[in-house]
Amino acid sequence: MAKYLMSVWGPDSDYEKEHYGYASQEEMMASFEATGKFNDKLQEEGYFVFADGLDAAKTATVVDGMGDKPVITDGPYAEAKEYMAGFWIIDVPDLDVALKLAAEASAACLGKVEVRPMQTGVEA
């Protein structure tokens, strides 16, 4: 089995919009429901490790603990147009399974999904 991070991205300004960047309240609720169903399915199939949505990137804090004293900075690590807005960690047999799940995840949450392998959890 191999673990992957599936992430969804979007502009930070979406968090301030009325429907978090969705076209309407209905669309947002339908997407939440579809994503919930997708998560249930992941659980049933035994692929689910963890999933959650993230709060806005501007609520992030960066800590540099490499010096004598930790240096704390407000804001995300990198300035970007779009930030990770939510993610899943899945544990599946191979990339083909991950890509299939990512297609379902993308359709449910209405965003492109990046699939990135993890270095750990690799079956030898």
Partner 1 sequence: MTDVDEAITRAHQEEWARVVASLTKRFGDLDIAEDAAAEAFTVAVERWPLDGVPPNPGAWLTTTANRRAIDRIRRESKRDDKQKEAVALAQIQGPDEPSLDERSVIEDDRLRLLFTCCHPALAPEARIALTLRMVGGLTVPEIAKAFLVQETTMGQRITRAKNKIKAAHIPYRVPEAADLPERVSGVLAVLFLVFNEGYLSSGDHENSVRSDLTLEAIRLTRLVRVLLPEDGEVAGLLALMLLIEARRTARVSATGELVRLDEQDRGSWDLALIAEGHALVRERLAAVANGGSRPGRYQILAAINAVHTSVRDARDTDWSQIVALYDQMLRVDASPIVRLNRAIAVAELDGPEVALAEIDRLDLDGYHAFHATRADLLRRLGRSGESRAAYDRAIELAENAAEVALLTRRRDQLGRI
- Residue the block writes with tokens 């939510």: 86
Q: Is 2 in the site for partner 1 (CB under 8 A)?
A: yes
Confirm or reject binding of residue 95 to partner 1 (CB under 8 A).
Answer: yes
68 is an interface residue for partner 1 by CB under 8 A = no
**Terminal Cα distance for the chain, rounded:** 9
Rounded to whole angstroms, the Cα distance separating 36 from 38 reads 5
User: Is 93 one of the binding residues for partner 1 (CB under 8 A)?
Assistant: yes
Residue 45 near partner 1 by CB under 8 A = no
Q: Compute the least distance from the CB of residue 101 to partner 1, in Å.
A: 13
14 CB-contact burial (10 Å; exposed 0-12 / middle 13-18 / buried 19+): middle
Residue 62 binds partner 1 (CB under 8 A): no
Nearer to partner 1, 17 or 100 (CB): 100
